[in-house]
Each structure stands twice: as structure tokens, then as C-alpha cells.
């Protein structure tokens, strides 16, 4: 079994599409629109086969959780895997240089990963990670 996709509601559909295609090498589908419901979405496909659905529609309430500064129950982050420690560091530097806040790391974790945490343009928490080798 595989995880087919994860979906994110947004008011910034084009901004998120561009973020995930630029920084995480995602390939965006054509935009799907249901004009009757005023619903629009993109599927962003990644090399692993996983997909991210970016969706927008009027009337979806804002998330009241402090996703940038606090943890809460439910899905809390998306993790992107890279092959090396150097790739983790390079991605952190690229995002930081482009104005994205690095919340923690890059660092070695107690569970065998080397990673950093950041936020996408909607403040969804992301990790970029690799298995740590000595």
C-alpha cells in the first residue's frame, strides 16, 4: 500500500503550486476547476510517486492553530527526503536565502535523521530529511 496523496486547503493556490514545484521539484498538473462550486485544485507529483493536492474554494475557514510556533493534534508536518546530509544543508540554505524561516536545524535527531524544519508560504510545517550515517 502507498500513501496516494495529501491535500491542503489554501487561499494562495498559485503561490503554493509555485513553491512546491520550485523548491521540491514537484510537477504540477493542469488546474482543475469546478466553476459551480468555485473549487480549484492542482495535483503536485513528486519523484517518489507521492502527490500533494493544493485546493481552494470560498467559505473554507482559516486554521486557528499556531502552526509555526506550536504543536497540535492532527497532521503537523510534511517531510521531504533527500539523499545526503549535504542536500539537507543546501536546501536549508536555499530556502533561508529566499526568505523562508528555518525553525530548527539542520541537526541530527535522536531517531537517526539529519533534518531541518521550515514553513511553506501558508505556514504549513515542513521537514527536509535524510537518514543519518556516521
Domain containing residue 85: CATH number:
3.10.180.10
Nearest alpha carbon to residue 4 among 58, 36, 44, 37 = 44
In a domain, 120, yes or no: yes
Note the pLDDT tens digit of each residue in 85-132. 999 999 999 999 999 999 999 999 988 999 999 999 999 999 999 998
- Give pLDDT, residue 45: 97
* 84 in the same domain as 51: no
pLDDT band at 134 (very low <50, low <70, confident <90, very high): low
Q: Name the residue range of residue 14's domain.
A: 5-56
In a domain, 70, yes or no: no
Q: What is the mean pLDDT of the chain?
A: 93
- Give pLDDT, residue 42: 98
pLDDT band at 68 (very low <50, low <70, confident <90, very high): confident
- Give pLDDT, residue 75: 82
Amino acid at each position: 500500500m502507498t500513501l496516494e496523496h495529501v491535500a491542503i486547503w489554501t487561499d494562495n493556490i498559485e503561490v503554493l503550486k509555485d513553491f512546491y514545484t520550485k523548491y521540491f521539484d514537484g510537477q504540477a498538473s493542469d488546474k482543475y476547476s469546478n466553476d459551480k462550486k468555485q473549487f480549484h485544485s492542482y495535483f503536485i507529483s513528486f519523484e517518489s510517486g507521492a502527490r500533494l493536492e493544493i485546493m481552494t474554494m470560498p467559505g473554507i475557514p482559516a486554521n486557528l492553530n499556531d502552526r509555526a510556533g506550536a504543536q497540535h493534534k492532527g497532521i503537523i508536518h510534511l517531510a521531504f527526503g533527500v539523499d545526503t546530509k549535504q542536500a539537507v544543508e543546501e536546501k536549508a540554505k536555499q530556502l533561508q536565502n529566499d526568505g523562508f524561516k528555518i525553525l530548527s536545524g539542520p541537526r541530527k535527531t535522536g531517531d537517526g535523521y539529519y533534518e531541518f524544519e521550515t514553513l511553506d508560504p501558508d505556514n504549513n510545517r515542513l521537514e527536509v530529511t535524510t537518514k543519518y550515517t556516521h
